Structure 1
Amino acid sequence: MTGLGMRGRWLGACARSWCLALGVATATPMAGAAGPAVIVAESRMQAVVEELRVSGTVTAPRAARLSPAVAGKVAALRVDVGSRVAEGAVLVELDAELARIELEVAQAGVSQASEALADARRRETDGRRLASSRSIAASAYEALQSEVRADTALLRQREAERRAAQARLERHVLRAPFDGVISAKLTELGEWIAPGDEALALVAERGLWVDLQVPQAYFPRLAPGMPVQLRLDALPGTAVEGRIERIVPVSDATARSFLLRVGVAGDDLPMTPGMSASAVLRLDAGRERVVVARDALLRHADGRVTVWAVEADGADARVVERVVQPGLGFDGMVEIVDGLAPGVRVVVEGNESLRQGQAVSVAGAR
């Protein structure tokens, strides 16, 4: 055999040895290889809170359909829809020409009666002096006194007539009964309106409430002063703190619910009557149970709910699947009715693709 052939066989044998060694090295796992990194949290005993979610509407504490006190033609309309008004502001003026004339007549009557009374008093004073000197008969003096009494009564009558005329004149002006915003205008200039005809609608903007309809089963568990977390649908992401102001103990027979009125702190919130709102009522469930973070639960297509429990520590850490029965959820936690004891570490991050008995590396805890 030539030297070249011997060299070729030697190179081939070396190549086969290298390939075999490489294959063995590839197929053999590294000793002490770490499993996937996970974040864990420990199950614990805690008082269970029931979160009741209900919907409602922002309402005004005062709302009024305004009507004139007397009939008349609309002579001036001082506001429009959306106008903000203060208590006592003039909203509508009716034609008051006849009422002003009546007031002038009444004022003239007061002046006339006042002058008559002054004259009667002057004559009664003179008569008293004459009667004391027996210059006139006693009956004549009594007649003068009677005139003073009659003229005094007449003056009072004329003053009452003037006040009535003044009141009738003032009733031709429709004023705002409270601070608010005009939500509807139901009349126009020149229209004839009478008592009972709605002219304007006024809604208060301060001290707003949120009215909630709550299922009747929760009535015994609610009390004034309880905190309520509100969210306005028109302001997503904005949480508003409120408290129960009133519980209306009249159930809606159709919906089997009752009215819960929630007061909102502050008048500077961007909310207005008519907005829809949702609320979360936190109610004590009256029991303590094992709870875990919501992220620990895995829900399967067959209806099972499981968690991955971490057993052992360090390099020996392994995961074991536990089937659990969840209960109420609250504050990012879930009540565990059955299947888990307190003090168990469960995986809350990195639990999507674990396998039974798989080694894991605990990277942190919540």
Structure 2
Amino acid sequence: MMNSPFLHSMSRQRQVLCALLFSALSLQVGLVQADNAVIVEVGEAREQQLVNEVPISGSVSASQIALLSSQVAGLVQRIHVEAGDQVAAGDLLIELDSELAEIALDGARASARSAREAQADSQRRFDEAQTLVSRNAIAASEVRGLESQARVDAASVQVADAQVRQRQAELQRHQIAVPFDGTLSRKLVEVGEWVTPGTDLLELVSTEQLRIDFQLAQRFYPLVEDSATLSIRFDAHPQRRFTGKVINKVPLSSSDARTFLLRTQIEDADQPLLIPGMSAHATLRLAEKRRGIVVNRDALRRYPDGRVSVWIVADASAEEGENQTVRELQVETGLSFAGQVEIRSGLEAGQTVVTRGNETLRDGQAVKITDTESE
């Protein structure tokens, strides 16, 4: 194998030639980059009131739910509804066999008539006795006895009338009517069953003024104000979001879950079709008691090792459209809300940050600003 000085010289020449070619290409690339600045959009880091957005889950609840029952014992004779029926207050739902109650009412009415007859007779005899007193034709003690009997018979009429009203009320209780407008969610009895007072017959749910209930961690209780708003989404309407308002926060914390109940209602004029028990997801906006620096969330660059940074325009005083340079700043983030992110450290209010086109930037990179986000 030949190892001559000629071959060694050729190798050295090739190395020098490659180095010169690499330098030339690097210079050319640098010139191209200088002439072709990266097009970016920017925004301003600004100080403002911070908002804490809390994701929560809950469900739709009805303002009224009732298990309807009978006040008297009896045999179910007729059922006029089925589960799922829409009913209005006063509608007849169930009738119990009322034959015995009707007989008892007839007997009470007969007793009342008899009592009135007896009272009318005793009053007539007392009136006649009074006409005889002036002629001394009757003993005074006998007159007092007739007067006492008239009072007793009058009281008997009152007792008989009360018994009639009692029998009427008992008869009326053999019919179960709707106490409020709503939908029958369950039918729990059938014709021919014997029921007693307190037996569940039907379940009635009001579909008016539905509420959305959420369970929140107790640490948020002092932060929830009457003016707090929510962005609510339902599984049944996944493409829409609705604005909710706080109706009430129940000041009772669950000892097990360490939560409290937040009751809300939809504010939108176009109310969604909801049913009790439907699941709901919301974002609750809570005003913080402090101010902070925020930037558009698109300005953040997150790295696998956990670092978060933003790119700032080094010379923010240059005119729009002129080439400028950028540099990277590592930051610490805080709250996120409405497309904004709090910057706790690493950035000052008023600095210009890159919000679009920041994916491949390098320190000292030339950029051209084409648009600035509106405030």
After TM superposition, is the score higher than 0.5? yes
* Structure 1 spans left out of the alignment, 5+ residues: 1-22
Q: What letter matches 1:155 in structure 2?
A: V
Choose which of 358, 361, 364 in structure 2 pairs with 1:357. Answer: 364
Cross-structure match for 1:200: 202
Q: What letter matches 1:145 in structure 2?
A: E
Q: What letter matches 1:97 in structure 2?
A: E
State the 1:30 CA deviation.
7.0
State the 1:225 CA deviation.
5.1
Contact 2:34–2:366 (Cα < 8 Å) also in 1: no
In structure 2, the residue corresponding to 1:107 is in which secondary structure? helix
Question: How far apart, CA to CA, are the structure 1 residues paired with 2:76 and 2:308?
Answer: 71
CA separation of 1:279/1:102 partners in 2, compared to 1, >3 Å: closer, same or farther? same
In structure 1, the residue corresponding to 2:136 is in which secondary structure? coil
Q: Given the alignment of the two structures, is residue 127 of structure 1 paired with residue 129 of structure 2, yes or no?
A: yes
Cross-structure match for 2:348: 341
State the 1:291 CA deviation.
0.6
Q: What letter matches 1:261 in structure 2?
A: R
More moved, 252-261 vs 153-162: 252-261
Contact 2:77–2:95 (Cα < 8 Å) also in 1: yes
Question: How far apart, CA to CA, are the structure 2 residues paired with 1:139 and 1:340?
Answer: 111
Cross-structure match for 1:275: 278
Once superposed, what is the RMSD of the aligned Cα atoms?
Answer: 2.3
Question: How far apart, CA to CA, are the structure 1 residues paired with 2:85 and 2:347?
Answer: 62
Percent identical: 42
Question: How far apart, CA to CA, are the structure 2 residues paired with 1:144 and 1:268?
Answer: 74
Contact 2:322–2:369 (Cα < 8 Å) also in 1: no
Cross-structure match for 1:80: 82
CA separation of 1:110/1:267 partners in 2, compared to 1, >3 Å: closer, same or farther? farther
Cross-structure match for 1:310: 313
Question: How far apart, CA to CA, are the structure 1 residues paired with 2:189 and 2:103?
Answer: 26
State the 1:193 CA deviation.
1.2
Question: How far apart, CA to CA, are the structure 1 residues paired with 2:114 and 2:104?
Answer: 15
**TM-score of the aligned structures, taking structure 2 as reference length:** 0.85
Q: What letter matches 1:132 in structure 2?
A: S
Choose which of 70, 73, 90 in structure 2 pairs with 1:71. Answer: 73
State the 1:53 CA deviation.
1.2
Cross-structure match for 2:302: 299
Q: How does 1:28-43 map to 2 (within 5 A)?
A: 29=31, 33-43=35-45
Choose which of 329, 332, 355 in structure 2 pairs with 1:325. Answer: 332
State the 1:173 CA deviation.
1.2
Q: How does 1:225-244 map to 2 (within 5 A)?
A: 226-244=228-246
Contact 1:229–1:242 (Cα < 8 Å) also in 2: yes
Q: How does 1:125-204 map to 2 (within 5 A)?
A: 125-204=127-206
State the 1:279 CA deviation.
2.2
Aligned length: 343
Cross-structure match for 2:290: 287
Which whole-Å deviations, capped at 9, do the CAs of 1:207-247 have from their partners, x for residues lacking one? 22222111122222224453333222221233333333332
State the 1:57 CA deviation.
1.1
Q: What letter matches 1:299 in structure 2?
A: R
Which whole-Å deviations, capped at 9, do the CAs of 1:222-274 have from their partners, x for residues lacking one? 24453333222221233333333332233223222122222344794412210
Contact 1:32–1:315 (Cα < 8 Å) also in 2: no
Contact 2:228–2:286 (Cα < 8 Å) also in 1: no
* Structure 2 spans left out of the alignment, 5+ residues: 1-23
More moved, 266-275 vs 109-118: 266-275
More moved, 57-66 vs 82-91: 82-91
Cross-structure match for 1:62: 64
State the 1:115 CA deviation.
2.0
Which whole-Å deviations, capped at 9, do the CAs of 1:33-55 have from their partners, x for residues lacking one? 34122111111111211111111
Question: How far apart, CA to CA, are the structure 2 residues paired with 1:282 and 1:155?
Answer: 69
Q: What letter matches 1:350 in structure 2?
A: G
CA separation of 1:92/1:225 partners in 2, compared to 1, >3 Å: closer, same or farther? farther
In structure 1, the residue corresponding to 2:163 is in which secondary structure? helix
Question: How far apart, CA to CA, are the structure 2 residues paired with 1:189 and 1:280?
Answer: 48
Cross-structure match for 2:99: 97
Cross-structure match for 2:8: none
CA separation of 1:102/1:225 partners in 2, compared to 1, >3 Å: closer, same or farther? farther
Contact 2:211–2:263 (Cα < 8 Å) also in 1: yes
In structure 2, the residue corresponding to 1:153 is in which secondary structure? helix
Question: How far apart, CA to CA, are the structure 1 residues paired with 2:323 and 2:67?
Answer: 76
State the 1:287 CA deviation.
1.9
Q: What letter matches 1:82 in structure 2?
A: G
In structure 2, the residue corresponding to 1:360 is in which secondary structure? strand
Cross-structure match for 1:9: none
CA separation of 1:315/1:119 partners in 2, compared to 1, >3 Å: closer, same or farther? same
CA separation of 1:117/1:269 partners in 2, compared to 1, >3 Å: closer, same or farther? farther
Q: What letter matches 1:305 in structure 2?
A: V
In structure 2, the residue corresponding to 1:259 is in which secondary structure? strand
State the 1:308 CA deviation.
1.5
**TM-score of the aligned structures, taking structure 1 as reference length:** 0.87
In structure 2, the residue corresponding to 1:199 is in which secondary structure? strand
More moved, 82-91 vs 259-268: 259-268
More moved, 235-244 vs 199-208: 235-244
